[in-house]
Structure 1
Amino acid sequence: MMMKWSAALLAAVTGLAYGQSSVSLYGIVDTGISYYNHATATGGSMLGMASLTGRVPSRWGLRGTEDLGGGFKTFFVLESGFQPGNGSLNYGGRLFGDQANVGVSSDYGSITLGRQLGMTMYALINADVIGPSIHSLSVFDSYLPNARSDNAIGYMGKFHGVTVGGTYSFGRDAAGPAGPGATNCPGQVPGNMLACRQYTALLAYDSASFGVAASYDVLRGGAGATAPLNNSAYTDTHNIVDGYVTFGSTKIGFGWIRNNLAAATHLQTDILFAGATYYATPALFFDAQAVRYLQRGSEGKKDASSTLLIGRANYLFSKRTMVYASLGYMFNSAQAANAVAAGGTVGTGMDQLGVMVGLQQKF
């Protein structure tokens, strides 16, 4: 098998193999108008263009493949995330912040080099029926919709329903100065092999009626990086166990996410979620999800907890065009200040209502 991989890589580099190739342009533009109350300590409201999507982040990309023969293919992905409201780039201003990678695939799996999705993203794709939207799991953990790695090598193989994957990053986040997708941790520092390293792993099984997945994701800090991961001895670890079942026109997803931050102070959080998608017709479908968030500090006590309820109605005018309305309600404990909308604000201890009406176009 090693000789086959070596031959395929040599052919890709030297141009000695010629085969059919294809390049496709694709994308999604998704935005709308949002409202939420209790946005300040005095209870003020907010109405405006949503800074985040109500379904999936807007992006465009180029994807290409070439058949090398013998079951081997080379591929590349260049994918750019952006804000439709003002045209700015996501993920710390990167031109191709979603993905920028090249690789080789075969029946044995694929090897990918460059900026790519971590296994946390793949673990959540099937179980999280709401996805990376404005009212979602991301309001509790902003890393989840940004689970990508710079300077990474990855492997993924699928064998009779079983998926095995992993990534290793030599410097997980080269953008800055701040934000969940720009933590200024480029790593690859001479004399410090741990600085800004990241490794993720996935084991999943999918069938026609159900699936389960588990992932492990460790981020290391580095000198000069955004706090709290500003030391290579500090780590941030995510563990996910989730699953889904389908029957008829309904899909039910559920899962558990634990995040352990081991830095100057220790913080542990747990996210429990369960949701469902129901298709009333091929064009009209509904999503609902309940999320429970628990936070524990260094003393081991419950510092803050919140419960988020989400409902969303979606209508397809065509395969490419959709309208939707998303409703979220956040119940905060006395010490919690988790906003109902990703990127939003809320007064400490206040409950919050959020609404978004949006339009999505695919190409």
Structure 2
Amino acid sequence: MRKQWSAALLAAIGGTAAAQSNVTLYGIVDTGVQYYNHAAPGGSLVGMPTLTGELPSRFGLKGNEDLGGGNKAFFVLENGFATPTGGFNNGGRIFGRAANVGLSGTYGTLTLGRQMNMSMLVLNNADVIGPSIHSMASFDSYLPNARSDNAIGYLGQFAGVTIGGTYSFGRDAAGPAGPSATNCGGEVPGNALACRQYTALLAYDGARFGVAGSYDVMRGGAGASSPLISSAYTDTRTILDGYVKFNAGKLGIGWIRRNVSAADHSQSDLVFVGGTYYLRPAFSLDAQVSRYVLRNHGSATLLVGRANYALSKRTTVYTSVGYMLNGAQTNLPVAAGGTVGTGLNQVGAMVGVQHRF
């Protein structure tokens, strides 16, 4: 009897170990020192950024199980944190970047839970700067935080063509405010529209070029962050972009149209052109120009240059320089999370180090 129990226990332990062998711990730790001038209400700032470096810091767990026939079950739990302070980003959530489970197979991937939506995926190839300290987040803080709570997502890839979409029953349960916390949890009895969101993607990626488009509609709800304080109000983004690859780099271009239908309707256009060039395998240069126009409320232009040097496969040092040209009515900062006086131009710079694991 003891031998039978011992054998059963060893079998259980062995089975558990095998099940856990496909779970991966991964992450990015990224920070440095930044500077920018003309900070509101005045003067300059020197310090460490809390929102992002070249990329936002994160750690996560992901795993999958082979179900046979090319099918898999998977999960992702991902946390975003501020390296200088150790605090949680993404609305203070433990797994604010991702918390989902799903199934994948020949016909695509089905994902349930908090996940990246199509407004983030559509920019992955064309936006060479990405969610960096000096980036298009200065014009639209949603772009590097395009995730949906309570969501059902689908993504399928077929011979270079990608189709995808998400549907959220309540797009953002964290609050009360912030670029990734808008207090719109939805799922309100008697109000099926409160905080609903849907996104859609169609893309083609070839050996040398690619094009993509997405559509994103989010609704408001009672108590949510302004201006979407009612389920009758919507915030809509249409994104079109593309890229061309060449031997030593890539060029990307894109256009983002945003319409906010709330108490005061607003419309904006954001156009960007950028490129990456590899001087050698470990040394690359990025540059991007972004032009933002908010209808009847001014405009601004952001110039960004960045240099990256890979010390190893895991560790990179970089420097980023940005220059924001504000119109007379705008006060958009050059750095994510920064401030600037209305109508003032602003220069920002950062030197940082990034380690991946």
C-alpha distance in 1 between matches for 2:293 and 2:165: 28
Task: Mark the structure with the bigger radius of gyration.
Answer: 2
Residues 279-302 of structure 1 show CA distances to partners (whole Å, capped at 9, x for unaligned) of 000000000000000001xxxxx3
Asked if 1:315 corresponds to 2:314, the answer is: no
CA deviation map 1:65-124 (0-9, x unaligned): 000011210000000000001011111111000000000000100100000001000000
State the Cα distance separating 1:19 from its structure 2 match.
8.6
Query: Percent same amino acid at aligned positions?
Result: 67
SS class of match (1:125): coil
The residue aligned with 1:5 is none
Following the alignment from structure 1 to structure 2, what is the Cα–Cα distance between the partners of residues 52 and 117?
18
Instruction: Confirm whether residue 339 of structure 1 aligns to residue 333 of structure 2.
Output: yes
Given that 2:51 and 2:89 are in contact with CA atoms closer than 8 Å, whether structure 1 keeps it comes out as no
Structure 2: stretches of 5+ with no match in the other structure: 1-17
Query: Considering only aligned residues, what root-mean-square deviation do their CA atoms show, in Å?
Result: 1.4
Residue 327 (1) aligns with residue 326 (2) = no
Between the aligned partners of 1:159 and 1:286, the Cα distance in structure 2 is 32
Q: Which residue of 1 aligns with 2:184?
A: 185
Match of 2:353 in 1: 359
The 8 Å contact of residues 32 and 53 in structure 1, kept in 2 or not, is answered as: no
- Per the TM alignment, residue 53 of structure 1 is displaced from its structure 2 partner at its CA by 2.4
Take 1:349 and 1:200, find their aligned partners in 2: how far apart are those partners?
A: 34
Distance 2:22 2:184 in 1: 35
Partner of 1:26: 26
Q: Helix, strand or coil for the counterpart of 2:65?
A: strand
1:152-200: per-residue Cα shift (whole Å, max 9, x none)? 0000000000000000000000001111211111100000000000000
Contact 1:21 1:65 in 2 (8 A): no
5 Å-filtered alignment, 1:1-363, equals 22-41=22-41, 43-296=42-295, 302-363=296-357
Q: Give the superposition deviation at 1:231.
A: 0.2
Alpha-carbon displacement from aligned partner over 1:254-297 (angstroms, at most 9, x marks no partner):
1001111000101111100000000000000000000000001x
Q: Deviations over 1:303-336 (max 9, x none)?
A: 2100100000000000100000000001111111
The Cα shift of 1:54 comes to: 2.9
* One-letter amino acid of the structure 2 residue matched with residue 130 of structure 1: I
Letter in 1 for 2:27: G
Q: Is the contact made by 1:204 and 1:211 (CA closer than 8 Å) also made in structure 2? A: yes
Counterpart contact for 2:52–2:336, Cα < 8 Å: no
- Gaps (5+ residues) in structure 1? 1-17, 297-301
TM-score with structure 2 setting the length: 0.94
TM-score (norm. length: structure 1): 0.92
Deviation at 1:20, TM superposition (A): 9.8
My pick for the range that moved more, 50-59 or 176-185, is: 50-59
Count of residue pairs the alignment pairs up: 341
Counterpart residue identity of residue 314, structure 2 = R
